[in-house]
Chain A
Amino acid sequence: SAVISQKPSRDICQRGTSLTIQCQVDSQVTMMFWYRQQPGQSLTLIATANQGSEATYESGFVIDKFPISRPNLTFSTLTVSNLSPEDSSIYLCSVEEQGTDTQYFGPGTRLTVL
């Protein structure tokens, strides 16, 4: 399975600022995904990030709040903009094993907004 790393692992941010989260995978993958996991909750898909095209956002998530970049087949970033305490969550990236539906997750980024 792919080895996925995320940076930072955790951060504490002030209201109104932004945080950019990086996701790096050790092999080339077509499909990368970003999820949010609110405290004590399940995972919710934010968007699908495909290289060479605009990210596809799920209902309730917009590009202005969660801009995503996917410059190549091994890397993606998620920015959480104009932070509020409600954005305090774990943010996870995942990758799909080529052509299988199988998704592997990174370790997550724990964001606390004060």
Chain B
Amino acid sequence: GENVEQHPSTLSVQEGDSAVIKCTYSDSASNYFPWYKQELGKGPQLIIDIRSNVGEKKDQRIAVTLNKTAKHFSLHITETQPEDSAVYFCAASRDYKLSFGAGTTVTVRA
């Protein structure tokens, strides 16, 4: 089955700086790569996604890049704000089944 590795497990950044989270996947047939943000006591919230026919996608301060050849994808958050503090999960999907990374706890220091 699909194996998704996510790094780092924790990330502390100064407010206003950028945060980068990286994921690799094992199944070359995976074709959809969402990112979720989970705040304490809440369900995961979809923040951005990318499909295998696209190399990069941006939505305001959030961007995702995908390198199909290397089988890795990354989340970039610019101009971080305290409300960006949360756990972020990457996932890879093949045939609608999502396989999740282990998660990254992001802390934005004021």
Judge if B18 is at the interface, Cβ distance under 8 Å. Answer: no
Interface string of B46-61 (1 = CB under 8 A from A): 1001010000000000
Cα A76 to Cα B89 in complex, Å, equals 25
Q: Is the CB of B44 within 8 A of A92?
A: yes
| Interface check A45, CB cutoff 8 A | yes
B interface SS class = strand
Whether A22 is near chain B, meaning CB under 8 Å from some CB there, is: no
* Cα–Cα, bound, A41→B101 (Å): 10
Asked if B43 contacts A102 (CB within 8 A), the reply is no
Q: B42 contacts A42, CB within 8 Å?
A: no
Q: Using A42-B89, A42-B101, A43-B89 as known contacts, say yes or no to A103 and B34 having CB atoms under 8 A apart.
A: yes
Rounded to whole Å, the gap between the CB of A94 and the closest CB of chain B is 8
Interface check A57, CB cutoff 8 A: no
| B96–A105 touching, CB < 8 Å | no
> Using Cβ atoms and an 8 Å threshold, which residues of chain A touch B89?
42-43
Q: Mark B74-110, 1 if CB is under 8 A from A, else 0.
A: 0000000000000001000100111111110000000
Interface pair A102/B49, CB less than 8 Å apart: yes
* Contact flags B2-24 to A (C-beta < 8 A → 1, else 0): 00000000000000000000000
Please state if B46 and A103 are interface contacts (CB–CB under 8 Å).
yes
**0/1 per residue, A39-59, Cβ < 8 Å to B?**
001111100100000000001
Q: Does A96 contact B (CB under 8 A)?
A: yes
Bound complex: CA A43 to CA B38 (Å):
11
Min CB–CB distance B4 → chain A (angstroms): 9
Q: Please tell me if A67 contacts chain B, counting CB pairs below 8 Å.
A: no
Per-position contact with A for B29-71: 1 when CB-CB < 8 Å, else 0?
0011010100001111110010100000000000000000000
Q: Which residue of B45, B49, B89, B98 has the most chain A CB atoms within 10 A of its CB atom?
A: B98
B102 and A1 within 8 A (CB): no
Chain A nearest CB from B98 CB (Å) reads 6
